[in-house]
Structure 1
Amino acid sequence: MKQLMTTTALEETIATEIAVAVYFAAPNCGVCEALRPKVEALFSEEFPAVKFLYIKIEESPEIAAKFSVFSAPTLLVFFEGKEFLRKVRLMGIQELRDKIERPYKMVFNI
């Protein structure tokens, strides 16, 4: 897990990495804190080739604004530089797994 602090750095990472997941969280957000370890575990165990990034909205409001993140938690998943998935607030781990599995296998030839 890595936290980026600039819009440019995040855009560069999305452009250069094959797959990127960006998890946005807000302060005092119980859902954000409860869900984050589960989402992180999903990516590290099931989709290890996806670069997982964690952004604290209060520390990087310009990034949230640039990516139109107005609610927390928000998960953005990019494949080959294009936004593939946007989940806001309530998201099930099984639902995420189901939505990401097929494109992940296609992109990484698994």
Structure 2
Amino acid sequence: MKKLQTIQAVLTFINNHHLAFLYVSQEDCSVCHALRPKMTELLKNYPKIELREVEADQVKEISAEYLIFSAPTLLFFVDGKEYLREGKFVQFRKLAHTIEQVYSFEESQLK
């Protein structure tokens, strides 16, 4: 998973990708480290969703910009607008279902 190092890189990423998924973690977060490979594996099924990671302890502005109070926080953007937010205790099945719904809808719009 590629990492974004500045708040400007985060903003550019979100604004330049139709489907953008942001994985906000912290270095000392065991849940973050355990969830990261699951997210990477899940999003392999959705090649049009771009995934990036931001370490909140490295990019401190991320907390203020997106009101992030805990890690991990998962943010899914569609056309630059926040569509989904999951934090700390991620319900993975629900998350996967929501991503599938959005992706299927977006795919149907392209036909």
The two structures share one fold, judged by TM-score above 0.5: yes
Counterpart CA distance in 2 for 1:83 and 1:64 is 15
Question: What is the count of residue pairs matched by the alignment?
Answer: 109
Contact 1:42 1:93 in 2 (8 A): no
Counterpart CA distance in 2 for 1:54 and 1:16 is 16
| Displacement over 3 Å in runs of 4+ | none
Counterpart of 2:19 in structure 1 is 19
After superposition, give the CA deviation of every residue in 1:3-36 in whole Å (9 maximum; x if it has no partner).
Answer: 1122222112211211011011112211111111
| RMSD between aligned residues | 1.4
Counterpart of 2:87 in structure 1 is 88
Contact 1:20 1:78 in 2 (8 A): yes
2:30 matched to 1:30? yes
Matches within 5 A, 1:57-72: 57-72=56-71
Counterpart CA distance in 2 for 1:66 and 1:5 is 15
Q: TM-score, normalised by structure 1?
A: 0.90
Where structure 1 has 5 or more consecutive residues not aligned to the other structure, the ranges are: none
Counterpart CA distance in 2 for 1:15 and 1:101 is 22
Where structure 2 has 5 or more consecutive residues not aligned to the other structure, the ranges are: none
Percentage of pairs with the same residue? 34
Amino acid at match of 2:79: E
